[in-house]
Amino acid sequence: MSRLHHHYDDLIEIRYATPEDAEDIHEITHDAFEIYAQSLGQPDKVAALKETPADVVRDISKKHVIIGTFVSKPAGSIRFDILPGNIAYISRFGVRPEFQKYGMGKALIQFVHARCRELGLNAIVLHTGAKVFQLVRFYYGMGYYVHSTTTDRGYIRAFLVHELQPEYDLSAAMKK
């Protein structure tokens, strides 16, 4: 019996980042967001591309910053912040192009979901380019839905929500 899908779970490690990971996370973010900017057609509007390794170190001290490795190589990262209303706001989620399609993105999101449930949060939210079909489809597959859209950054951003509790207040998160 042949298997169509390979499972790479045993090659993926997800953990909290330390300041020593800042350079790797900076490179992952740059590689992933360069492609995101191209798909938006507006590289100058993507703040992640202006980030420095020092910015990453600052985020590691202030937010939940997670790194994923594939066969011990830095492959993906994700960050989240806890906002008023017990809402997790995901930012800077990216997987290096050469490590996409191995389950790294899914593993990072599942790690965040588990952590947010442990923390007793009400919902997880994020913004993404509404026109980037692959991303929107990915998030739908992970249990998110489009709550609303905004053009505050010069392109259409979808505000996506993953509910953890039946009641929640998104007002603080929608201002991000």
pLDDT tops 90 at residue 84: yes
pLDDT per residue over 87-102, tens digit each? 999 999 999 999 998 9
Cα 131 to Cα 31: distance, rounded to the nearest angstrom: 19
| Residue 77 contacts residue 67 (beta carbons within 8 Å) | yes
Cα 18 to Cα 2: distance, rounded to the nearest angstrom: 41
Q: How confident is the model at residue 5 (pLDDT cuts 50, 70, 90)?
A: very low
Q: Indicate the pTM of the whole model.
A: 0.91
The pLDDT assigned to 24 comes to: 98
9-168: CATH topology is Aminopeptidase (3.40.630)
Please provide the average confidence, as pLDDT, over all residues in the chain.
Answer: 91
End-to-end C-alpha distance for the chain, whole angstroms: 49
Task: State how beta strands 87-95 and 73-83 pair.
Answer: antiparallel
User: Which whole number is the average pLDDT over 106-132?
Assistant: 96
Cα 28 to Cα 22: distance, rounded to the nearest angstrom: 10
The pLDDT assigned to 175 comes to: 84
